[in-house]
Chains A and B, each alone.
Chain A
Amino acid sequence: SQKIEQNSEALNIQEGKTATLTCNYTNYSPAYLQWYRQDPGRGPVFLLLIRENEKEKRKERLKVTFDTTLKQSLFHITASQPADSATYLCALDHAGNTGKLIFGQGTTLQVKP
């Protein structure tokens, strides 16, 4: 079955540094992969989507890469700020591109001033 893994350990970095979060998946080749941000007690918010034929996507300080050979996506936040502290969820499309998503368990990022 499809499996998606994110680093369960929290990532602690200093303000101004680049945060890099990892999402690995197995047993599937998704048509696209998404990243969401979730703040405590709130619903996830969509950030970026990258398709299988795209290597990289950028949005302001955010960058996502998608390596279908390694079955991995990297999510980067450059010039990180304390306001970037949150849990970041990776999601990939369910088999058959039905619109359903499978979510990773998320990685919590803490940016210290």
Chain B
Amino acid sequence: DADVTQTPRNRITKTGKRIMLECSQTKGHDRMYWYRQDPGLGLRLIYYSFDVKDINKGEISDGYSVSRQAQAKFSLSLESAIPNQTALYFCATSDPNPRGDTQYFGPGTRLTVL
């Protein structure tokens, strides 16, 4: 079974709709992240959480919100989707390591906002 899973894998929605992307992990990691990836722009951090009670904005958090329901679950919500939120979304996890965290990514959710 995959260590980091994301649901749904593909989603088409309309402008103004509220949608939620879910991420679950079995790696036992405390740290979880949400990124979006756009062609030519690489991965950009939306939100991150270092434990259940710690949630922080990344570089592009406007229009998004998150919920850390448990150590293993981290959800990303788009309250009112707009077309420029069409992108590939990735969840990732890591464990704190003084020698450097490495991140483990889910398979991604392809979101299209019409």
Contacts and interface: CB of A to CB of B under 8 A. Distances in A.
**How many residues of B sit at the interface, in one of the four size bands?**
20 to 34
Contacts of B33: 100
A53 to B, nearest CB: 11
B74 interface: no
Interface in A53-83: none
A73 to B, nearest CB: 13
A62 B99 CA distance: 20
Contacts of B92: 43
A56 B81 CA distance: 45
Interface string B65-76: 000000000000
A89 B94 contact: no
B64 interface: no
Interface in B58-113: 58, 88, 90, 92, 94, 96, 99-108, 110
Interface string A13-49: 0000000000000000001101000000111111001
B105 to A, nearest CB: 3
A99 B92 CA distance: 12
16 contacts: A34-B100, A43-B107, A44-B90, A45-B105, A46-B104, A89-B43, A99-B94, A99-B96, A99-B101, A100-B45, A100-B58, A103-B44, A104-B42, A105-B40, A105-B41, A105-B42
